[in-house]
Structure 1
Amino acid sequence: MSLNLTVMLDESAKVRPQKPALVLGEEKVTYAALREASMRFAAALSSLGIEPGDRVAIMVPNVPQFAIAYYGILRAGAVVVPLNVLLQGPEVAYHLGDSGAKVLVAWDGFLEAAGRGYEEASGCGHLIVAGEKEEVPEGALGFRELLEQNPPEFETVQTMPDDTAVIIYTSGTTGRPKGAELSHFNLFYNAVCNADKLVQTSEEDAGIAALPLFHIFGQTAVLNTFVYSGNTITMIPRFEPEAVLGAIERDRITIFTGVPTMYQYLLHHPAADAHDTSSLRLGISGGASMPVEVLRRFEEKFGITILEGYGLSETSPVVCFNRSAEERKVGSIGLPIWGIEAKVVDEDDREVPRGETGELVVRGHAIMKGYYGRPKETAEAMRGGWFHTGDLARMDEDGYIFIVDRKKDMIVRGGYNVYPREVEEAIYEHPAVAEVAVVGVPHEELGEEVVAVVVPKEGARVEEEEIIAFARERVARYKYPRHVVFVDELPKNATGKILKRELDPERLGPEVRRSR
């Protein structure tokens, strides 16, 4: 039996042809128009010699052209390779070379880096430029012109469920990024589960693409979920709290999907009370652990329920979710979704008793085929038929899973394990703290010392000793930070996830290497 992810778009276009699928400011693209444009782009790729299984990279922000290219590539039987729009030239070249991409579709606003990467990469035959002005450099092709030149009908290539649909690159926290191969079935069924069993979308719902669509969270939980349900998606090219709040009010958004830092920015934005956000019925959070205090304050202020889930690039991404306000356990990532098994294991891959901490491993329909071109890394990650997430977790008696921390973020202080998230949760309760990241830095006697890097709330005044004393009252003596570093902002990736690896221990001061 064949399956191509574009069936979701085709079915919604059949049922709701004139309903807006995508909204960007005043621009509206109906489902019929999105389907036709994807066919034109598929025909264009075919005319350029792209065959089923070839890889086509997209370096485009949250604009309609992303969705057109995405479904057009899939319709042609090719493989989508989404690229972070913030990549620099050498990084673009690496991704193109590693994936073997034959075409790069780039937004003109990022053309300098994209063009450099394209020139440096070997084997990438065509550069297609999309944009508002679409000023196409010599030797490149124009996206709009290609759509105009090609027919509005194209016979969708009949791919098989296990054929690769998308190669999504990991963030590279443990080395060079690896491409996770996700099949048409991986992505199709994850979107169906998300829409029908988790979020439970209806005709009245409207979503918002504040998450970048080049990230798997945005692709599945926003683009594919709402296209499958035939809902309208408002596109936000770059996350800005004011733009999001304005879009929620203007387009009567019912479901907001984001990472915890997005909720924090919306919560603390001075114009939050000036916008009518009463249309919101649900918040979906993932990508990182949601601080309980942030969740509580957001729900109180906006009058909605936030349901937290969990997933990774390698898992399409959703594998765990809190089902509803009645069933959820605040602070947990919920239960494994339908068709997914999960367990917590020790270093020898033996399941640990309920309540004990170990590595979370999962298996089921959402798990990737493997890392593209990396059989060794694939075998290591998939030991015993279970995908090893690298996240430390515990499972309670009811089967609810609580993420303790990233395995690699754990701090060993004087022989004791310190899980940064537990300390961060305590510090978030301080009324002057907007954001915090707890990290371990080398220490002469203890091996590692605990340091809190804090972003104070705007206008708040707080001293290091105050934060230390506040944490000391809430966590065990070996866990509380001995040093606090105040910064204006924390480094984040494109989805808003805090990048602890960029908090260089050497820059946090030599004094943290001595006892306190």
Structure 2
Amino acid sequence: MLNLSVILEDGARAVPEKDCLISGDVRLNYATVNMIANQVANLLASRGVQPGDRIALASPNTPYFPFVYFGALKVGAVVVPLNVLLTAPEIQYHLEDSGAKAIFAFAGSPELPLGERAFEAFGNVDSCEFYVDLPATAGATESSIEGAETLWAALAGQPGTFESVQSDSEDTAVIIYTSGTTGRPKGAELSHNNLLLNAVVADRNADKSPDGRDVALTVLPLFHIFGQTVMLNSVLYRHGTMVLMPRFDGAEALRLMEKEGVTAFAGVPTMYWGLLTAVQSAEPGTYDVEKITSTVVDAVSGGSSLPQQLSDDFTKTFGIGIKEGYGLSETSPIVSFNNPNIKAKTGSIGLPVWGVEMKLIDSEWNDAETEGEIAVRGHCVMKGYYNRPEVNAEVLNNGWFRTGDIARRDEEGFYFIIDRSKDMIIRGGYNVYPREVEEVLMTHPEISLAAVVGVEHDTHGEEVKAFIIREPDADLDEQALIDWSKERLAGYKYPRVVEFRTELPMTATGKILKRELR
């Protein structure tokens, strides 16, 4: 028997007065966070929520997320975290697809009216029985949405103690929906065992401060599995403190690092790019970089490939190597780590983590020697996609999950991502892997960020196109970049089409949306 909520309950017993969450000026200790989660559990039980019922949660990185997340787990329910940028029809799709019984949604702001979109979706879904508003104002008992009740009004009179349901370790704890960057989102069912063991793996791979401090800047969205495991579950498992940041901003992240003495940071590559850009564009003396580098001991990147040039630049500026992890929503997410503090190889996603196996396969599930699609087996692999038996039959085979990522493996067992199979460009019959082209483009001194996709072409089938953000004051033009690329890439690889932009479309987690670029 196992319930993932034990990681919060253990902290409340062991270190009740220690800061668990820091959100702006609000500091909440473990005892308080656990007490409010107990109230949420009592609320759900009083509304007829049964073990196995799905509870949707749409919240940015605020204390509301762990309140509802652990409260739902305590009552044996399944949490369905929703991306806060979803439109009303998209929220409706997620509610209907998961069969959610209730939805808790952050009110948002006039610029991001999440609550209004969620309430509209709720009204269109018969299976969803009640809606709870997570108000922007702490403690508010009146909702800005007509007909909605706030969390604080709903919790009034609810006891602060609750005996958690002892779920089976293989019961579904969370349904994580894939980002949908390559198709309609599917819900990956992750068990209590999947998530707890992956949190333990994240902790085993975390570099700890020699003075025992453990303060993690949590800017990765908690509704995403990367932030949920590497930040929320892993940090609470080891009784650390999370500094919550609802929306990434490089300058604000640096300020919080300095103010709170942050020891750990995890982000997608574009966040590391944002930190570097903030330092480089700031007036001298704006940030105490020396103070920041003296406290930060753990830096993890994941979500998409980390360009080597970006990694080198970050290490040069902040004095710490970035550990590149690899994983997917379907694998809870951690599969492998490339840890420069132990043993690492440039451009690699490293070696499988404890309890996980990796291999390379072809399209027919046959083993491949040195290059092929990554398949994963171990405690991290999902139970399957919710209500998708036909898809499960395609991606799951005897405990193995095929990832869709193409890689090569060297003689020491290190894996190197070549690209996602669905992102691969086929130009004139030749395979072009966008990541390889992006790595080369990122070495150009006038390029700040690059993304490469395939676009339709009359004779070649697809052509290579590069979307570029230039460095400030750069005067690089299209032809100059094409000529430069031609000298460094094979004739079928270099981009023939270049488009300069001031920004690139990204998911809420900071992944570049190549589907939109196409």
> TM-score with structure 1 length normalisation?
0.95
Task: Please state how far the C-alpha of 1:344 moved relative to its aligned partner.
Answer: 1.0
Question: 2:185 pairs with 177, 186, 194, which one?
Answer: 177
The aligned amino acid for 2:250 is: P
Q: How does 1:164-313 map to 2 (within 5 A)?
A: 164-199=172-207, 203-269=212-278, 270-271=281-282, 274-276=286-288, 277-278=292-293, 279-313=295-329
- Which one is further off, 344-353 or 449-458? 344-353
Pair 1:50 & 2:66 matched: no
Alignment of 1:253-402 (within 5 A): 253-269=262-278, 270-271=281-282, 274-276=286-288, 277-278=292-293, 279-354=295-370, 357-402=371-416
Shift of 1:132: 2.8
Any conservation in 1 of the 2:58–2:82 contact (CA below 8 Å)? yes
**Offset at 1:207?**
0.4
> 494-503 or 140-149: which moved more?
140-149
Q: Which moved more, 1:177-186 or 1:147-156?
A: 147-156
CA contact (8 A) 2:485 2:494 kept: yes
User: Aligned partners of 2:436 and 2:283: how far apart in 1?
Assistant: 29
- Structure 1 CA distance, aligned partners of 2:277 and 2:460? 37
Partner of 1:168, secondary structure, is strand
Q: State yes or no: 1:409 paired with 2:446.
A: no
Which residue identity is paired with 2:260?
D
Equivalent positions of 1:142-153 (< 5 A) are 142-153=150-161
Instruction: Report if aligned partners of 2:250, 2:277 keep a CA contact under 8 Å in 1.
Output: no
SS in 2 for 1:295: helix
Return 5+ residue gaps in structure 2 as ranges.
109-113
Give the one of 421, 426, 441 matched to 1:427.
Answer: 441
Aligned to 1:64: 63
CA distance in 1, matches of 2:208, 2:353: 13
Amino acid at match of 1:236: M
Change in CA separation of 1:198 and 1:209 when aligned onto 2, cut-off 3 Å: closer
Whole-angstrom CA distance in 2 between matches of 1:384 and 1:160 = 22
Shift of 1:283: 0.9
Q: Which residue of 1 aligns with 2:131?
A: 127
Select between 383-392 and 432-441 the one with higher mean Cα deviation: 383-392
**% identical aligned pairs:** 49
Measured in 2, the distance between the counterparts of 1:384 and 1:132 equals: 47
Deviation, 1:196, is 2.2
CA distance in 2, matches of 1:272, 1:224: 37
Question: 4+ runs of 1 displaced by more than 6 Å?
Answer: none
Give, in whole Å, the separation in 1 of the partners of 2:461 and 2:63: 51
Check whether the contact 1:90–1:120 (CA below 8 A) recurs between aligned residues: no
Give, in whole Å, the separation in 1 of the partners of 2:386 and 2:4. 20
1:334 CA drift (Å) = 0.6
Deviations 1:304-332 (A, max 9, x none): 11000000000000011123424011211
Instruction: Give TM-score scaled by structure 2 length.
Output: 0.94
Output the CA distance in 2 between the equivalents of 1:173 and 1:138: 34
Determine the C-alpha separation between the residues in 1 that align with 2:120 and 2:102.
14
Distance 1:320 1:77 in 2: 30
CA contact (8 A) 1:198 1:323 kept: no
Counterparts of 1:311 and 1:488, CA distance in 2: 29
Are the counterparts in 2 of residues 209 and 234 from structure 1 also a CA contact under 8 Å?
A: yes
Secondary structure of the 2:90 match is helix
Return the alpha-carbon distance in structure 1 between the equivalents of residues 182 and 427 of structure 2: 22
Q: CA RMSD in A?
A: 1.4
CA contact (8 A) 1:266 1:272 kept: no
Q: Distance in 2 between matches of 1:168 and 1:236?
A: 21
Whole-Å separation in 1 of the counterparts to 2:487 and 2:162: 65
